[in-house]
């Protein structure tokens, strides 16, 4: 689930207006109700036309984008562009979107990161929409917009050239339109397509999730960067990155200067000289790739085992490529990680977090005092917030210090996102002595003159969001958000995450006060500590140890049957996932398995309609389709014979073995084929792929 999707009320009641946004039904942008408009159009037998975002140049915007438009621009509905348009289907590869004339690689890089998280994607892109059932030319999408979820309605008229080709975002699959319609809804939210020309990956990631953004300057990357990437990959975070600015658009090494990319995977491979950490990236253009070490045509792939090379390397100009971690740090300037749970940087035990959100404003002549230095005489005028950090429940490390994450977001005054540039913003945190605890008066200049701030490094960035992680001892603190310069006006959102805390404004009456409890119920997170401890003792596990781990897991969401894995099944699973042919699984390979197990279990239970603990032939067909894999009826029937019992019913254990084989063999074919029709393998490679898998 997304960060703000599994919240429940804390004990304290919020003051002021009732909580809205992420915690209740989303607001309706411009008061347009999708269900009401849909039913009205169906009743009147007409197609929806959105007067609030019309099919003309007003929606394109007034700027440089107009100069790029083709002559005779037209607006057409998908039914006019393709005989069988499809809104969304799971039966396509994740990365099937291509950038159009809008220079919004940042938006597309974030959107492609979102496609790795089906549950979060389903929040942004409601799946019960189509061009067939209850079609009326109207669609809707949801975005987290400055503290609340907003439902945005659009009609399906899209700008095309004379040849009927989409001029903005499109799909590799010409009859697939969810991406183009989502881009249109996002443009409507922010004013126009022109307003999407400039942006940051981090902004779109937060808009898609309501998560918390963290930016790492790769030139100053922490020594545990690989560990951070690993935790981000397996803790359901979304990642994007940005290259350095340059004079040439496409550099000699194949990278695009000043361009956003999606981080799609990481992998530690086993070379002949030792392990190598690799990062996989994708260019939103859907083409133009890195040409250095570990690129598609690099000699480095010959250092790997045949199986590992086949399953990782794809020699196609599809925009996706691998590079070493060192090259990644050298050639990219920023790594943006959007955390769907706030504990990426913290390795505390415990799964509960408190979340507080407050809306405030810097007002000229009143609450816009600027930063502490050099404006010490006016700094105290800024809004001030008490933060009482409490010892968290069930957290071993919080006895002495607590992990606290603070996020400050500025909200522009104009609905057009690029018409008002971001102000440099930041915040300071001060420890407050007991003599001030009972007072609700704003702290005076003398307090700030005598007390140094906790965050010695003050970040004032002209970005939409500034985020910092802290380790604070239990006690009382004051947070002072400010602009870098005094007398600068803006509305802002202050968010605080910790195991347990209380947050309120000093001497003020906030327009919005909210405190909630976050419970991370994701099965993968619940068992992460257990797996880490096991692999600390046994860095590589064999089939017997794998069986012991899987059969000791308490599957909390099982409805009607108990999971047991046989040794034979575990030997088969190990052979499929053991890419470097060691006869064992590393924690990296096990995490891949665990992620797939959770997904397969969700699909299995959804399609096991009679709750028998087995899938019959019809349920098996439905389950395979649900995973997004296309198999012919003939192959599916044969797999029921191969993996099923005498009644052709398949248990979850057999379903896992079957689906892993389908996915891995499918990936091998796609990586090896040149024409999507056949592949070429040497005999040793053929033997490895068919016998040890």
Q: Give a yes or no: residue 1 inside a domain.
A: no
The whole-angstrom separation of Cα 216 and Cα 672 is 35
**Count of domains in the chain?**
4
Q: Which residue has the tokens 């300071």?
A: 428
Looking at per-residue confidence, does 399 or 169 come out higher? 169
In this predicted structure, what is the pLDDT of residue 247? 75
Please give the average per-residue pLDDT across 219-233, as a whole number.
Answer: 92
Mind giving me the DSSP string for 423-465? PPEEEEEEE--GGGTT--SPPPHHHHHHS--S-SS---BSSSE
Lowest mean pLDDT among 6-10, 273-277, 595-599, 604-608: 6-10
Q: What are the phi and psi torsion angles at 609 (to 5°)?
A: -60, -40
In this predicted structure, what is the pLDDT of residue 17? 29
The whole-angstrom separation of Cα 279 and Cα 322 is 6
The whole-angstrom separation of Cα 494 and Cα 236 is 23
Do 379 and 506 fall within a single domain? yes
Q: Give a yes or no: residue 501 inside a domain.
A: yes
**Nearest alpha carbon to residue 233 among 339, 354, 367, 76:** 339
Contacts 24+ apart (CB under 8 A), 36-41: 37/138, 37/153, 38/134, 38/136, 38/138, 41/136, 41/137, 41/138
Each residue's pLDDT tens digit, 367-382: 999 999 899 999 999 9
The whole-angstrom separation of Cα 199 and Cα 464 is 10
**3-state DSSP of 361-401:** EECCCCCCCCCCCCCCCCHHHCCCEEEEECCCCCCCHHHCC
**Nearest alpha carbon to residue 316 among 672, 681, 682:** 672
Q: Give a yes or no: residue 346 inside a domain.
A: no
Burial-class residue 132 by CB neighbours within 10 Å (0-12, 13-18, 19+): exposed
Write down which residue in 471, 490, 519 finishes a domain.
519
Write down which residue in 209, 231, 265 finishes a domain.
209
Do 413 and 314 fall within a single domain? no
The whole-angstrom separation of Cα 633 and Cα 620 is 10
Q: How confident is the model at residue 91 (pLDDT cuts 50, 70, 90)?
A: low
Domain interval for residue 233:
215-339
Residue 224: pLDDT over 90? yes
Pairing verdict, β 74-76 and 260-271 = unpaired
In this predicted structure, what is the pLDDT of residue 519? 58
What is the CATH number for 416? 2.60.120.380
Do 240 and 187 fall within a single domain? no
Do 496 and 566 fall within a single domain? no
Of 259, 331, 501, 522, catalytic: 259
The whole-angstrom separation of Cα 543 and Cα 598 is 19
382 flagged as catalytic = no
Do 190 and 53 fall within a single domain? yes
Q: Give a yes or no: residue 3 inside a domain.
A: no
Do 280 and 152 fall within a single domain? no
Q: How high does pLDDT run on average in the chain?
A: 86
Classified as helix, coil or strand, 657 is helix
Residue 23: pLDDT over 60? no
Q: Can you point out the beta strands (E) in 553-661?
A: 614-615, 650-651
Residue 156: pLDDT over 90? yes
Residue 522: pLDDT over 90? no
557 flagged as catalytic = no
Please give the average per-residue pLDDT across 444-468, as a whole number.
Answer: 89
Do 240 and 286 fall within a single domain? yes
Q: Give a yes or no: residue 655 inside a domain.
A: yes
In this predicted structure, what is the pLDDT of residue 491? 94
Do 460 and 421 fall within a single domain? yes
The whole-angstrom separation of Cα 527 and Cα 339 is 18
Q: How confident is the model at residue 176 (pLDDT cuts 50, 70, 90)?
A: very high
Of 213, 283, 382, 614, catalytic: 283
Q: Give a yes or no: residue 6 inside a domain.
A: no
Write down which residue in 276, 310, 339 finishes a domain.
339
Q: Give a yes or no: residue 191 inside a domain.
A: yes
In this predicted structure, what is the pLDDT of residue 393? 57
Residue 298: pLDDT over 60? yes
In this predicted structure, what is the pLDDT of residue 229? 93
440 flagged as catalytic = no
Do 284 and 399 fall within a single domain? no
Looking at the chain, the whole-number percentage of residues with pLDDT higher than 70 is 88
What is the CATH number for 231? 3.90.70.10
Of 105, 241, 402, 570, catalytic: 105
Alpha-carbon separation of residue 550 from 522, 567, 597, 613 (angstroms) = 17, 11, 10, 17
Q: Give a yes or no: residue 574 inside a domain.
A: yes
> Could you tell me if 411 and 491 are in contact, meaning their C-beta atoms sit under 8 angstroms apart?
yes
Each residue's pLDDT tens digit, 414-435: 788 777 789 999 999 999 999 8
Q: How confident is the model at residue 525 (pLDDT cuts 50, 70, 90)?
A: low
Lowest mean pLDDT among 13-22, 114-123, 245-254, 256-265: 13-22
Looking at per-residue confidence, does 302 or 18 come out higher? 302
Q: How confident is the model at residue 286 (pLDDT cuts 50, 70, 90)?
A: confident
Q: How confident is the model at residue 588 (pLDDT cuts 50, 70, 90)?
A: confident
Looking at the chain, the whole-number percentage of residues with pLDDT higher than 90 is 52
Lowest mean pLDDT among 4-18, 162-176, 431-445: 4-18
In this predicted structure, what is the pLDDT of residue 22? 38
Do 37 and 178 fall within a single domain? yes
Do 75 and 153 fall within a single domain? yes
Residue 79: pLDDT over 50? yes
**Nearest alpha carbon to residue 285 among 100, 46, 83:** 100
In this predicted structure, what is the pLDDT of residue 402? 86
**Nearest alpha carbon to residue 389 among 373, 405, 368:** 405
What is the CATH number for 583? 1.10.238.10
Do 164 and 302 fall within a single domain? no
Each residue's pLDDT tens digit, 343-364: 544 444 446 778 899 999 999 9
């Amino acid at each position: 689930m997304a960060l703000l999707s599994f919240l429940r009320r804390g004990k304290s009641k919020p003051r002021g207006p009732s909580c809205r946004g992420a915690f209740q039904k989303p607001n309706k942008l411009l008061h347009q109700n999708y269900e009401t408009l849909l039913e009205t159009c169906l009743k009147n037998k007409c197609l929806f036309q959105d007067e609030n975002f019309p099919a003309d140049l007003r929606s394109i915007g007034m700027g440089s984008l107009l100069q790029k438009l083709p002559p005779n621009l037209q607006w057409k509905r998908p039914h006019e562009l393709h005989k069988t348009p499809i809104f969304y289907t799971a039966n396509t590869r994740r990365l099937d979107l291509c950038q159009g004339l809008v220079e919004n690689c940042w938006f597309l890089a974030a959107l492609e990161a979102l496609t790795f998280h089906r549950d979060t994607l389903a929040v942004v892109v409601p799946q019960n929409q189509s061009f067939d059932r209850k079609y009326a030319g109207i669609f809707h999408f949801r975005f987290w917009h400055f503290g609340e979820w907003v439902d945005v309605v659009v009609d399906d008229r899209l700008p095309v050239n004379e040849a009927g080709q989409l001029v903005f975002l499109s799909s590799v699959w010409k009859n697939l339109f969810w991406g183009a319609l989502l881009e249109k809804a996002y443009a409507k939210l922010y004013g126009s397509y022109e307003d999407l020309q400039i942006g940051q990956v981090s902004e779109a990631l937060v808009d898609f999730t309501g998560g918390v953004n963290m930016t790492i300057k790769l030139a100053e990357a922490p020594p545990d960067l690989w560990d951070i990437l690993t935790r981000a990959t397996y803790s359901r975070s979304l990642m994007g990155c940005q290259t350095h600015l340059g004079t040439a658009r496409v550099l000699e090494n194949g990278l695009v200067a000043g361009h956003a990319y999606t981080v799609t995977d990481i992998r530690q491979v086993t070379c002949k000289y030792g392990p190598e950490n690799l990062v996989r990236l994708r260019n939103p253009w859907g083409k133009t790739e890195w040409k250095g070490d570990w690129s598609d045509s690099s000699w480095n792939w010959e250092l790997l085992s045949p199986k590992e090379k086949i399953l990782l390397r794809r020699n196609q100009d599809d925009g996706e490529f691998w590079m070493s971690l060192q090259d990644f740090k050298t050639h990219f300037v920023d790594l943006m990680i959007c955390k769907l749970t706030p504990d990426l940087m913290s390795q505390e035990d415990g799964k509960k977090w408190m979340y507080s959100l407050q809306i405030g404003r810097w007002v000229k002549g009143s609450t816009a005092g600027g930063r502490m230095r050099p404006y010490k005489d006016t700094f105290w005028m800024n809004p001030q917030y008490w933060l009482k950090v409490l010892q968290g429940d069930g957290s071993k490390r919080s006895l002495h210090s607590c992990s606290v994450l603070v996020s400050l977001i500025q909200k522009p005054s104009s609905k057009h996102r690029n018409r008002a540039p971001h102000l440099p913003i930041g915040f300071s945190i001060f420890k407050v002595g007991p003599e001030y605890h009972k007072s609700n008066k704003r702290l005076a200049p003398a307090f700030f003159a005598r007390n140094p701030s906790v965050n010695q490094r003050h970040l004032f960035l002209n970005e939409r969001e500034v985020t910092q992680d802290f380790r604070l001892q239990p006690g009382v603190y004051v947070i002072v958000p400010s602009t870098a310069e005094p007398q600068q006006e803006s509305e802002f959102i202050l968010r605080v995450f910790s195991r347990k805390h209380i947050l309120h404004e000093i001497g003020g009456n906030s327009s919005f006060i909210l405190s909630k409890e976050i419970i991370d119920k994701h099965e993968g997170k619940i068992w992460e500590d257990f797996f880490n401890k096991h692999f600390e003792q046994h860095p590589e596990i064999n089939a017997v140890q794998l069986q012991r781990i899987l059969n000791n897991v308490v599957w909390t969401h099982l409805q009607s049957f108990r999971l047991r894995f046989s040794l034979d099944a575990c030997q088969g699973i190990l052979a499929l996932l053991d890419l470097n042919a060691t006869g064992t699984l590393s924690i990296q390979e096990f995490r891949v398995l665990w992620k797939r197990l959770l997904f397969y279990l969700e699909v299995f239970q959804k399609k096991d309609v009679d709750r028998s603990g087995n899938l019959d032939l019809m349920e098996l067909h439905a389950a395979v389709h649900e995973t997004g894999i296309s198999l012919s009826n003939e192959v599916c029937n044969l797999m029921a014979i191969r993996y099923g019992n005498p009644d052709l019913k398949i248990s979850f254990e057999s379903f896992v073995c079957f689906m892993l084989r389908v996915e891995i063999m499918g990936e091998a074919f796609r990586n090896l084929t040149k024409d999507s029709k056949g592949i070429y393998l040497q005999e040793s490679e053929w033997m490895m792929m068919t016998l040890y898998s």
